[in-house]
Every structure is written in structure tokens, then in C-alpha cells.
Amino acid sequence: DGGITQSPKYLFRKEGQNVTLSCEQNLNHDAMYWYRQDPGQGLRLIYYSQIVNDFQKGDIAEGYSVSREKKESFPLTVTSAQKNPTAFYLCASSIRGAGDSPLHFGNGTRLTVT
Amino acid sequence: KNEVEQSPQNLTAQEGEFITINCSYSVGISALHWLQQHPGGGIVSLFMLSSGKKKHGRLIATINIQEKHSSLHITASHPRDSAVYICAVTSGGSNYKLTFGKGTLLTVNP
């Protein structure tokens, strides 16, 4: 079955360490997204990629980095520059843009930084 | 920026009741999404619509472009419908950016 796989489900890190969250899809989708979810807030876009080897900053890109070297993979690195990294991170993909195709989500990674 | 307001924030219903969740947005859009998030955190896309009405099983989504308003209806609600329902709209003229509402927590009691 096609889908999006995020790993790990839970991640714990010490402050000051960089950490990379994995996102893999086998849906053959061109577009991929990273969102952050905090309690009481709507999802916020960190980065998105329209096609392989291309990515764009979202609304809250500071302190994060991404790469899109393969169509299937869109890893997110949370750097030590991110001031409040503890959050629930969701990866998504769509055939085309979210303006004309539905989103498919992974199950998320809950990151705790202490 | 397109603001998205959902109401109610929390909704408790008895099994079998008809449920309506509302979503209002502030500027023109090309598409609106309804999503469902279960307690484990995973999100499932329910509907994407730009006009009219869509139906899938017991779920119905409608949108009124002139009034900038959408509703999600659940007929014959069931405890398994308990989840957070999220509305999202296209944002900033981009085909890739969405603005999300804060969600409506629905609890259906048996």
C-alpha cells in the first residue's frame, strides 16, 4: 500500500543538538511539505518542495533545514538555532499543489528537546 | 494572510446525532480542505472542495464561496467519529501554502 512513513514516532534530544526527522513517500507525489503542530494552534508550514531538487521556505522556516535529493524523501533537520523545537512534526505530500490536490499525511514525529 | 476560524472549538454529541462544524475564512481561495486528526496524531484528508457540495458515506462538506464559509456535516454520528476536525484553505496566492484552522474537537458518546 502506498503511503507516507515518518520516523521515529518519538524523538528525544538535548538542547544544542541538531536532529533529523525522516519522511519517505511511495505515492509518486511531486509535492512534499513539513508542518509543525503546537497545542492550541493550527498547523504551520515549515518548508515545502514542489519537485525534486527544489524547496521553498514556509511561514516558520527559521532554525530548520531540508533537502529533496530524491522524489521519495524529504528529511527535515531541526537545528540548534530553533528556539522552541519541542513540537509535533507532520510530513505530507500531494500529487500537485494543495490548491488542486488532496494532502496525504504521515503519522507524525513528536520531538522533545530538553 | 487568510484567517481561518472554526466553530465550535469543542463539540460533544450523543451517538446518532447530526453534527455540523463550521469554517469561515477571510479572503478568496482556490480550495478548502477538511481533515480529520485522531488522538494518535495522524491526519486523514476527508474532502477537498472549491465549490458546491461533496458527500462520502456519512460525511457531507459544503462551501459557499460568496459567503466565505464551509460546513462539515456528519449524519448518524458514531463514537468512532470522535476526533479533531481541521479546516484549511489555500493562502497567499500560492498553490502550495495552506492556512489551517485550530480545529474542532468532537466527542461522540455512546
Using a CB-CB cut-off of 8 Å, the residues of chain A touching B84 are none
Amino acid at A62: E
Cα–Cα nearest to B96, from A103, A57, A99? A99
| Interface with A, mutate which of B97, B99, B104, B105 (most A CBs under 10 A) | B97
Question: Mean of the per-residue pLDDT values for chain A?
Answer: 95
Phi/psi-derived region of residue B16, left when phi > 0, alpha when psi is between -120 and 50, beta in every other case: left
Distance CA B39, CA B84 (A): 8
- Measure CB to CB from residue A108 to each of B42, B94, B103 and give the nearest one: B42
Is A24 strand, coil or helix? Answer: strand
Q: Which cell is B77 given?
A: 454520528
In terms of DSSP H, where are the helices of chain B? none
pLDDT computed for residue A12 by the predictor:
95
Q: For A70-74, A87-91, A103-107, B95-99, which range has the lowest pLDDT when averaged over its residues?
A: B95-99
Would strands B10-14 and B104-109 be described as parallel, antiparallel, or unpaired? Answer: parallel
**Which residues are CB-neighbours of B93 under 8 A, at least 6 positions away?**
none
Peptide bond before residue B79 is cis, with ω within 30 degrees of 0: no
Q: Give me the tens of pLDDT residue by residue for chain B, a chain 110 residues long.
A: 669 999 999 999 999 999 999 999 998 888 999 999 998 889 999 999 999 999 999 999 999 999 999 999 999 999 999 999 999 998 777 889 999 999 999 999 99
pLDDT computed for residue A1 by the predictor:
65
Q: What is the pLDDT of residues A84-93, one digit of tens each?
A: 999 999 999 9
Distance from CA of B40 to the nearest CA of A (A): 8
**Which residues are CB-neighbours of A62 under 8 A, at least 6 positions away?**
A81, A82
